[in-house]
Structure 1
Amino acid sequence: MRISSSIKAVVVSTIGFAALSLPGLAAPPTTFDLADETAGAEPKSFVPVVGFWRVADDNGKKVLVVDGRQWKEGQSSAGIADKARTLYGERYAEFLDRVQAYAYFPYVVAPNVQSFTDGEITVRFQGLSGRIDQGAGILFNLKQNGDYLTIRANCLENNLVLWKFENGKRSSVHWVRNTPTATHQWHDLKVRITGTKVEGYLDGKLYLEHTLAQPVSGRIGLWSKADSHMYFSDYTVTAAN
């Protein structure tokens, strides 16, 4: 989705939304959920690229789950070639080549948001299990070559980290410790982006501030790691241009 700088708009979407459209006028906030999706099936609102992602029922509410109990190192999502083509059309090959390099890190992509720049992305998450990791992250700045950024919390480590994935390698950009993130409890994670400035919030508290070398632009989604078994809910995108 490209939002012209001449359009003053706020768009809000959550897990389960079908599309974002701006017909030349400011669009009203739009909120969707997973109520119409099928428990046990892959999500329709997101494209699973790496890992096992399914819709689940949590006490009567549909949530998105990444099930790291089935994770195997180097394994991308089923039907990855078709999914890469869904995201990038006939120019999917470069993206597909890079996916295997990141197969340690499960993630899904919101197919109808082609380019997110300024605004906020929020999600609620709960760690269920995972001996290596219990990571929940917001993925953004995903490029066609597979490079991306993510801010993630971790229920085992109690830290908040801005990671950079570039040329098949991961490196930390900014690391904040002592961010309480208990397992088996719901938490709120938020990323706010203004130009090159990135802010990371956990449970309503600002923990992380960082200035990037270049402004953000690219696809967005959700991220996890290794054997993490996590619930995600209320994924919200607020793009303000």
Structure 2
Amino acid sequence: MNSNVKAAMSAVALAAFVLPGLAAQPTKLEFSGETVGAEPKSLVPVVGVWRVESDAGKKVLAVDGRQWKEGQSSAGIADKARALYGERYAEFLDRVQAYAYFPYAVVPAVENFTAGEITVRFEGLSGRIDQGAGILFNLKPNGDYLTVRANCLENNLVLWKFEKGKRSSIKWVRNTPTATKQWHELKIRINGAKLEGYLDGKLYLEDTLAQPVSGRIGLWSKADSYMHFTDYTVTIAE
């Protein structure tokens, strides 16, 4: 198994979250102990180029679309898929290729997120096609998933569905100011099938999904986006 995958499976201890009926304390992914220039250990890159970088002396996670090539999966993807989904990894790999236009990375320590909050701060650095930053959730063993994403070029917030190799939008919200080269906060709040999406503390997006959320979580981007991420925080509700 890829050494980064082994490290990822143990890097973030998100167990022992809960007492019955109580929400967990927030848990934040930390990059301070990671190596600048290397793939992150607290997430598993599936599509695209993901690495730890330094920003004003602080270690952050970058997705570097400047190196993006259509159809490019991350290095060691077979081992990573096997670590995430065991015997179903081949099915997962097939769907990864169908979605290879959209870089994403998975939090390995959270096997099944069904309710709670996920928050991340992001900054758009460059990208002529896109400067997209998304929270990925509801990731299934067959590779289907949902994402709520902001875009520094389009100033909108969109809930996307990736299913059976195709992407479709569930809900668009326009006029959501998201200036490039500035830090912003993206948050989703989930309770069963109920979804809320926040940008910089303001509720913009609400939707009732076709089914309750259940699956893995992570980060998402698109095409030539070069983005920084930090303060990825998960709060699991019981």
Using the size of structure 2 for normalisation, the TM-score is 0.92
Q: CA RMSD in A?
A: 1.5
Is there any run of 5+ residues in structure 2 with no aligned partner, and where? 1-9
Q: Which amino acid in the other structure matches residue 59 of structure 1?
A: A
* Counterpart amino acid of residue 57 in structure 2: G
Question: Could you say which residue in structure 2 is the equivalent of 1:19?
Answer: 13
CA distance in 2, matches of 1:29, 1:188: 16
Structure 1 residues 41 and 209: CA distance shift in structure 2, 3 A: same
Code of the residue aligned with 1:236 in structure 2: it is: T
Q: In structure 2, how many angstroms separate the alpha carbons of the residues matched to 1:205 and 1:96? A: 36
Query: Does residue 1:236 correspond to 2:218, yes or no?
Result: no
Q: Distance in 1 between matches of 2:180 and 2:161?
A: 25
Question: Which residue is equivalent to 1:103?
Answer: 100
Question: After superposition, where does 1:75-86 map in structure 2 within 5 Å?
Answer: 75-86=72-83
Is the CA contact (8 Å cut-off) linking 1:17 and 1:33 kept in structure 2? no
Structure 1 residue aligned with 2:33: 36
Q: 1:28 to 1:149 in 2, by over 3 A?
A: closer
What one-letter code is carried by the residue in structure 2 that aligns with 1:18? V
Q: Equivalents in 2 of 1:29, 1:153: separation in Å?
A: 22
Cα contact 2:27–2:235 (8 A) shared by 1: no
Query: 2:136 — aligned with what?
Result: 139
Q: Which consecutive aligned stretches of 4+ in structure 1 deviate over 2 angstroms post-superposition?
A: 22-32
- In structure 2, the residue matched to 1:189 is 186
Matched-pair contact (CA < 8 Å) for 1:17–1:32:
no
Distance in 1, Cα, partners of 2:27 & 2:155: 33
Aligned equivalents of 2:190 and 2:119: distance in 1? Answer: 12
1:22: how far off? Answer: 2.2
Aligned counterpart, 2:5: none
Give the aligned partner of residue 148 of structure 2. Answer: 151
**% identical aligned pairs:** 79
Deviations 1:104-127 (A, max 9, x none): 000000001000001000000000
TM-score norm. by structure 1 comes to 0.91
Q: Deviations over 1:63-99 (max 9, x none)?
A: 0000000000111111110110111122211101110
Distance 1:145 1:66 in 2: 24
Cα deviation for residue 156 of structure 1 reads 0.2
SS in 1 for 2:111: coil
Question: What are the residue-to-residue correspondences of 1:110-125 with 2, within 5 Å?
Answer: 110-125=107-122
CA distance in 2, matches of 1:31, 1:227: 27
CA shift for structure 1 position 23: 8.0
Structure 1 residue 17: Cα displacement = 5.3
Q: Is the 8 A contact 2:124 2:228 kept in 1?
A: yes
Q: Secondary structure in 2 aligned to 1:121?
A: strand
Q: 1:150 and 1:81, CA in 2 relative to 1: closer, same or farther beyond 3 A?
A: same
Q: Residue deviations 1:191-233, cap 9 Å, x none?
A: 0001111100000000000001110000000000000000000
After superposing the two structures, state which structure 1 stretch, 86-95 or 204-213, moved more.
86-95
